Structure 1
Amino acid sequence: MKSPNHVHGRRNPSSGLRSTPDRVPYSPAYSEASSARSSSSSSRSRVAVAAKSVAGVFVACFTPPEDKSSTNSFADSAEFKAPSVASDGSRAGTGSERRRSSSERGIYSGSNHSTHSTHGREPGSVKFTMEEIFKATRNFSPSFKIGQGGFGTVFKGRLEDGTVVAVKRAKKSVYDKHLGVEFQSEIRTLAQVEHLNLVKFYGCLEHEDERIVVVEYVPNGTLREHLDSFHGNVLDLAARLDVAIDVAHAVTYLHMYTDHPIIHRDIKSSNILLTENFRAKVADFGFARLAADSDSGATHVSTQVKGTAGYLDPEYLRTYQLTEKSDVYSFGVLLVELVTGRRPIEPKREMKERITAKWAIKKFTEGDAISILDPKLECTSANHLALEQVLELALQCLAPRRQNRPIMRRCAEILWNIRKDYREQSSSDLRSVSSFTQRSISLREE
């Protein structure tokens, strides 16, 4: 069994993948963020100035949202009562590592990763046949359909060994070069990544006009569905902070701990899947691109703008220059979405509230943050504190110039401290309520 002090990543020589630890306890590596983070009172003036420049770029970068079918509900049949994915022991190897100091590597570089019931084969190594795919999905039965997106249709399936999977079937556009490029991009990206908070890739298939991707099935729907209470529950703020941290970890891994930095380009709530324990997994790598090669001195990749309206980095939209900071901008929009519950673009609201991030940041800088808290959440002092802190981080992520945005690892550090403060304040609130209740009981007895 590996020592808990082990934090350095090791690479499996056969796969080139770096695995990551499961849940990560609070670490001193994150304590630096407490002293580095300015207090709300001392930074309010700087926040207000920054907000004015942020607000000026919002409208230009938002266009009407794309039409996408909502995910359909799926009634589980008896055939899908398969055992849940299990994990086994860790594996480790040696090999070259990205040029990062050991102190920077922190939590992103453990050696524990889960395998799946496809007999522990490497992610992406499974070679499927159309016969297997037809059998797993009952010939792509409409009753097994669980989603619809730009790439195509997603079906729930069960492999012969009992593994429950998501089967992504591309639109039948054999002559669609654009779709083919996206398919190949997703395959290349999925094949080289492995992280607890990224959807696991099992394999793919190209057969005549069929393009199939088989990935891990994540059972609890998308983050957007839960913010909309689509499943009947309200996602409390503690769970939302956990989701934000999970996403920050996943994107940090893509930016810093793969063989070559990867830019996701489509960070959004509908691409974040939740497990039964409400842990987040980032999905959909159709727009992913390799970042600039810093060894050659390049600072960005010049490329056609891809992404989703409402989450697009305005600097990328204006210059066609893509960097990891474009993901940071999208993450800033996601943070606002998490605390307000609103979609990035709300076309049915009055004009001043249609661009959610612009509206939220304005309210925040005016000292009225509490008015934008998701009405499904309680107005407790712990929620109010976390709301202010999350919006302060969102403001940094939404800076008009990429140089002024934090890196994703810094976002994760700050969020760890926000969650720590939130838990401490929540405990204090509970003690206060308990004390008040006891006093009330004593007064009634007298």
Structure 2
Amino acid sequence: MRFWSKKTTKKLKKNLEANQRLRLFQENGKVLLEDLIELCNGKSNPIKTFSANEILEATDNFSESNLVVRFEFMYRGMLQNRPVLIKRAIWSLYKSDTLEKICRDIAVSSMVSGHKNFLKLLGCCLEFEHPVLVCEYAERIPFNNTPNPDMLLPWGMRIKIVKEIAIAVSYLHTTFSRTMIHTDIQPSNIFLDSNGTAKLSGFCLCVSIPEGETFVKVHADRVEGTLDYLEYNYAATGLITEYTDVFSFGVLLQNFFTRMYGVVDYCCSEDESLFEEFEDKQNVMNMRISDRISIFVQEERIFEVLDPNILESMGDDETEEHKIRRMEAVLMLSLRCTGHRGDVPKMMEVAKELKRIERCT
């Protein structure tokens, strides 16, 4: 019978752990490389890798005290003497493709990190079961339903944020050989850095459209997201186009500038699809924010949906009528984005219109 000393046992455990991390690094790295090759022929910005020990030390072993977003497992930490956000995915509605989603987030983040309106990817760690993203530190935007009214964003900051996010989405749509569709534009994926610059993040659900094509269709059980933000056509058929993002952005505008908020969040479970649920949820679909706001506009009750807190935060040198006109301009643009008024614009047009509204005094 062989007896192991504590020192030998500790050494064996350390070797097993090292071998496990090396195996995960290789397996996860393979999936990430395949995604990079698919999206951009592997020609992305260099991706720095951190060790598991560095991540554990930075987050104090993923301490709850460092948790920024409880249900999304995003942690603040200090890494190489700088504050960072560390994104750790430990759950998924579709367990079979959790790794693919995280690698998509890493791949797209690496492609857009040179643009100021995306949350900058500093690197990743491939030594955990699921890769971990390391990003620049930024704060989640306070939103309309914040319990502290003093944290509500004033008009100037809101119009700046939506303008910068529109620029970011336009960049995704037009810069690469394959059009990139975010498909998950919503407040939880928007951050502000210390200079007040808006940053778009969260590319787990990002889809690329093949060169020469204008759409891609996903399988029924891959339609997912926040119900209010899902374009009708995407929700019903799985068809993804540039207008999938335009619709979501329109709803973002409505949530940003009115007193009406979203209905529900909905993602299908692992053994069902949104298509199967669609008919049962038709009444909810008909009560989505964009439909409700359109009704108020048709009935010429637009003032009832404008957020008075935002009107009050606009410049004192503006007349009440001018303030309302600017708010109406944003609202009508949002209804164009959601297909309720006129032709649906491209994101580039939306960004230009928001710049015009921002400059208007």
Shorter chain as normaliser: what TM range? 0.7 to 0.9
Q: Give the aligned partner of residue 164 of structure 1.
A: 83
**How far apart are the structure 2 equivalents of 1:328 and 1:148?**
29
The CA deviation at 1:317 is 1.6
Alignment equivalent of 1:184, drawn from 84, 87, 103: 103
**How far apart are the structure 1 equivalents of 2:124 and 2:338?**
36
Q: Which runs of 4+ in 1 moved over 4 A?
A: 351-354
Q: Give the aligned partner of residue 433 of structure 1.
A: none
The CA deviation at 1:231 is 7.5
1:376 aligns to what SS in structure 2? helix
Q: Give the aligned partner of residue 164 of structure 2.
A: 246
**How far apart are the structure 2 equivalents of 1:285 and 1:260?**
15
Q: Deviations over 1:313-369 (max 9, x none)?
A: 10112221111110000001011111114322179xxx9995322222211232221
1:231–1:124 distance in 2 versus 1, CA, 3 Å: farther
- Say which is worse superposed, 358-367 or 410-419, in terms of deviation: 358-367
Q: Give the aligned partner of residue 68 of structure 1.
A: none
1:245 aligns to what SS in structure 2? helix
- Tell me, yes or no, if structure 1 residue 153 matches structure 2 residue 73: yes
State the AA in 2 paired with 1:388: E
**How far apart are the structure 2 equivalents of 1:381 and 1:288?**
41
- Tell me, yes or no, if structure 1 residue 389 matches structure 2 residue 311: no
- Tell me, yes or no, if structure 1 residue 132 matches structure 2 residue 132: no
Q: Give the aligned partner of residue 202 of structure 1.
A: 122
Alignment equivalent of 1:278, drawn from 162, 171, 196: 196
Number of residue-to-residue matches in the alignment: 289
Q: Give the aligned partner of residue 228 of structure 2.
A: 310
Q: Deviations over 1:125-152 (max 9, x none)?
A: 2110011101111111111110134xx4
1:360 aligns to what SS in structure 2? helix
The CA deviation at 1:400 is 6.9
Q: Deviations over 1:151-210 (max 9, x none)?
A: x411101112x121111112068x932212211211221121131111001111222524
Q: Which has the higher contact order (CA 8 A, sep 6+)?
A: 1
What's the RMSD between the two structures over aligned residues? Answer: 2.8
Q: Give the aligned partner of residue 418 of structure 1.
A: 357
In the TM superposition, 1:249-328 aligns within 5 A as 249-294=167-212, 298-303=213-218, 304-328=222-246
Which consecutive residues of structure 1, in runs of 5 or more, have no partner in the other structure?
1-97, 99-121, 425-446
**How far apart are the structure 1 equivalents of 2:49 and 2:127?**
12
Taking structure 2 as the reference length, the TM-score comes to 0.73
The CA deviation at 1:383 is 2.6
The CA deviation at 1:227 is 5.5
Taking structure 1 as the reference length, the TM-score comes to 0.60
Q: Give the aligned partner of residue 59 of structure 1.
A: none
**How far apart are the structure 2 equivalents of 1:271 and 1:227?**
16
1:202 aligns to what SS in structure 2? strand
**How far apart are the structure 2 equivalents of 1:230 and 1:167?**
26
**How far apart are the structure 2 equivalents of 1:126 and 1:260?**
24
**How far apart are the structure 2 equivalents of 1:227 and 1:242?**
20
Structure (1 or 2) with the greater helix fraction: 2
Q: Give the aligned partner of residue 155 of structure 2.
A: 237
1:144–1:252 distance in 2 versus 1, CA, 3 Å: same
Q: Give the aligned partner of residue 48 of structure 1.
A: none
1:276–1:383 distance in 2 versus 1, CA, 3 Å: farther
1:310–1:124 distance in 2 versus 1, CA, 3 Å: farther
Q: Is the 8 A contact 2:86 2:133 kept in 1?
A: yes
Alignment equivalent of 1:367, drawn from 274, 297, 300: 300
2:307 aligns to what SS in structure 1? coil
Alignment equivalent of 1:143, drawn from 65, 87, 92: 65
